[in-house]
Chains A and B, each alone.
Chain A
Amino acid sequence: MMAAKSYKARKRYWTLLIVGVSIAPLLLMSGVILYEFRHSDREKVTAHLEELVGKHKQAIDSFLNVKLGEIRVLARTFDYDELSDESFLRERLSVMQQEESPVMVDLGVVNAEGTQVAYAGPFRLARVDYSDADWFQQAMHQEYFISDVFRGLRGLPHFIVAVRSLRGEQPWILRATIDFAAFNKLVEDIRIGRTGSAFILNREGSIQTEARNDLDLENGPYMDLLRDEESRGDEIYFLEGTDPSGIRNIYAAAYLKKVDWLLVYQQHAAEAFSSFRNALNLALVILSVACLASVVAAFLLARKMVSCLAESDEQKQIMNQQIVETGKLAAIGELAAGIAHEINNPVATMVEEAGWMEDLLEDEEFQDTKQLEEFQRSLKQIRSQGGRCKQITHKLLSFARKTDARIQEVNLYDLIDEMVALSAQRAKYSNVEIVTTLQRGLPTLHASVSEMQQIFLNLINNAIDAMEKKGGKIHISIKTETRSLVIRVADTGPGIPEANLERVFDPFFTTKPVGKGTGLGLSICYGIIAKMGGKIDVRSAIDVGTTFRIELPLPEQETVARTPIEARMLEEA
């Protein structure tokens, strides 16, 4: 069928439309909510990290501050000569180590030439010349100095806190080594989850604490965190970047106050924002389930709609066919009526002329004619064939004539009584019994009386004709169904062969012997019923009988028999 393609296209269109309409807002809403959530989650995580990094920055700052303070106090309280005494120095160291945690590994006094004049500590570093050491060069130019971590002469990572004092014009330096392990602990404490950890970088980007082994300082975005001295602030910097192994990290960094070091906190972005990730995953699952559901629903709905549409189209087509058929019948009817009328008059004249010849033959002068009987037989034949023409033309005319189509309230009980009475005589001759089963309280029918009479007479006559030889029973039943009136006229005749069943309503189709039927009775019925908006169909079984079923629409409000005054008032209204 040609329409199948357009149905398919429509189904596709509807499916897409429903899917679009249901999924688009879903996606939009989910997107907006997720975006907002991501934003607020990020803020939360950032705030948390800011606090964490800030606190540790403070802790490290104050640690360094305290250490520096101690050395300063020592340098101010005692002069160069006192501190140059190694036994005194050792005493001071042990006092400090007792009072504080043993974070200070050793103490040393270095003179302006870079020679360590006194040393207290576990290494043999007395009289060592530091004049070429970086830290010494820098310490000589500042009041105090904290060095980067370096291995130095002892071969172990450590850093130095140095304070410069003056003896007369000569500067000298009191330096202390901070225990690297103790210092590390401060930073190592910052650990969150599986991947979150902290470390310290100096301004060249080299690491100052023990770091995780997987840290790739060369390639990470660490240099971005190290800023020019001018642009440094007290605040905490955030950065998000991908490290060489392809993992996305977030970085939070802050500069320490006392020293040119950067405290960096690093964590995999996936872990840091895991709550968002979890929400996203959940949302995706829900979303995909919802999408799937709406796709399925859209598909089913579209299929249902298209099948409804197809059905109604089909019904429309059937109805169109019926309308065309009815129209065809009407056209044939009009044509037939015209022909019938034109033929009837000449036929009548012919019959009369034949009659006149018969009349003349009765005169005496013809009585002896040899062929008298032949003449008479022939004329009789002309007359009877003329009669046949008359029958046909009359039927044709009644098929198409403008009958009394006035719509009245038809009382079905009266109508059936009348029709049965009218057919009773013929039925008796053919040994046919007519039975009626009429439902009680049938509504009056809004129809033309003469048309209804025609329907019943045609059906009853056909039934009687069918059972002419053997006799039988005609059962007429009327009952109401929802919004329709169902009339059945059933006979117990020989039935209609299947081949003929489809053609019984065609005009001029008849199985009656030539001259008996015109083949118009059922087409007349069909035309009338179609005009009333009803339908007629036939069911037949050979040797069992034939049933004609008529369905006529009833008005929604059941018509109750009205008094004439009411009827008139209704009409006027």
Chain B
Amino acid sequence: MARANVLLVDDEAPFVEALTRRLSKRELDITAAHDGTQALEKLEKSRMFEVVILDVKMPGMDGIETLRQIKTAHPLIEVIMLTGHATVESAIEGMKLGAFDYLMKPCDIDELVAKVEQAAARKQAQEEKITLARIKEIAARRD
């Protein structure tokens, strides 16, 4: 089984292709989307995604807006931002909106993989917490 299920969102097709190959080789399950709308559709269709790698600068709906909508619809999914240039402001804004972390493009592949794994781990931990809370609730209800 893959180490994590990842949705990669970037408008630059060749970049997405190359990165998909590389990440797949590192045992990540990659699905590609080329803009924000497509990404939201894919997230809607499938519940398997754990981590989204999201380019900040995209035509149409930009990364920050996409992030906002992802977080509203799927609060548990972790998002790693990729920025063409690291502006402290957009990074801070992304963090405020609940992004897991941000990386500058082009990024070191190992760093990216590590971040994805951390994000997936966190998501799993969160989900476990919720499951536990549910179990407790159900258990409590029985009393």
Contact = CB atoms under 8 A, between A and B. Distances in A.
Nearest to B22: A356
B106 A386 contact: yes
Interface string B12-39: 1011001101100100000000000000
A353 B109 CA distance: 11
A349 B84 contact: no
Contacts of A401: 85, 87
Interface stretch (A261-269, A286-294, A339-347): A339-347
B103 to A, nearest CB: 11
A349 B15 contact: yes
Nearest to B82: A348
A397 B89 CA distance: 14
A340 to B, nearest CB: 8
Interface in A371-428: 386-387, 390, 393-394, 397-398, 401, 403-404
B136 interface: no
A356 B21 contact: yes
Given A348-B106, A351-B106, A394-B104, A450 B88 contact: yes
B129 to A, nearest CB: 35
Given A344-B105, A390-B104, A390-B106, A352 B19 contact: yes
A340 B104 CA distance: 14
Contact of A344 (B18, B21, B85): B85
B62 to A, nearest CB: 14
Given A393-B85, A398-B87, A401-B85, A345 B15 contact: yes
Contacts of B12: 345, 348-349
B85 A356 contact: no
B73 interface: no
B105 A348 contact: yes
Interface string A326-349: 000000000000001100111111
A221 interface: no
Nearest to A337: B85
B18 A349 contact: yes
B135 interface: no
A106 B86 CA distance: 144
A349 to B, nearest CB: 4
Nearest to A406: B89
Contacts of A393: 84-85
B22 A355 contact: yes
Nearest to B26: A359
Interface in B92-140: 104-106, 109
A346 B10 CA distance: 13
A408 to B, nearest CB: 13
Contacts of B88: 404, 450
Contact of A356 (B18, B57, B89, B106): B18
B81 to A, nearest CB: 14
Contacts of A356: 18, 21-22, 25
A504 B129 CA distance: 57
A341 B57 CA distance: 10
Which of under 10, 10 to 19, 20 to 34, or 35 or more describes the interface residues of A?
Answer: 20 to 34
B8 to A, nearest CB: 11
B15 A352 contact: yes
Interface centre among A345, A353, A450 (most CB of B within 10 A): A345
A387 B104 CA distance: 11
Nearest to B15: A349
A341 B85 CA distance: 9
A446 to B, nearest CB: 19
A341 B89 CA distance: 18
B113 to A, nearest CB: 11
Contacts of A348: 12, 15, 105-106
A94 to B, nearest CB: 144
A397 B84 contact: yes
Nearest to A389: B106
A485 B89 CA distance: 27
Interface in A293-348: 340-341, 344-348
Contact of A341 (B14, B15, B19, B84): B84
A341 B18 CA distance: 19
Contacts of B89: 403-404, 450
Contacts of A386: 106
A359 B14 contact: no
A355 B109 contact: yes
A356 to B, nearest CB: 5
Contacts of B106: 347-348, 351-352, 386-387, 390
A346 B18 CA distance: 11
A352 B22 contact: yes
B35 to A, nearest CB: 15
A31 to B, nearest CB: 78
Contacts of B19: 352
Nearest to B92: A404
A355 B85 CA distance: 20
26 contacts: A341-B85, A348-B12, A352-B15, A352-B18, A352-B19, A352-B22, A352-B106, A352-B109, A353-B14, A355-B22, A355-B109, A356-B18, A356-B21, A356-B22, A356-B25, A359-B22, A390-B106, A393-B84, A393-B85, A394-B104, A397-B85, A398-B87, A401-B85, A403-B89, A404-B88, A404-B89
Given A344-B105, A345-B15, A401-B85, 5 more contacts: A348-B15, A359-B22, A387-B106, A394-B104, A401-B87
The 6 closest A-B pairs by CB, nearest first: A352-B18, A397-B85, A348-B106, A351-B106, A349-B15, A349-B14
Interface of A: 340-341, 344-349, 351-353, 355-356, 359, 386-387, 390, 393-394, 397-398, 401, 403-404, 450
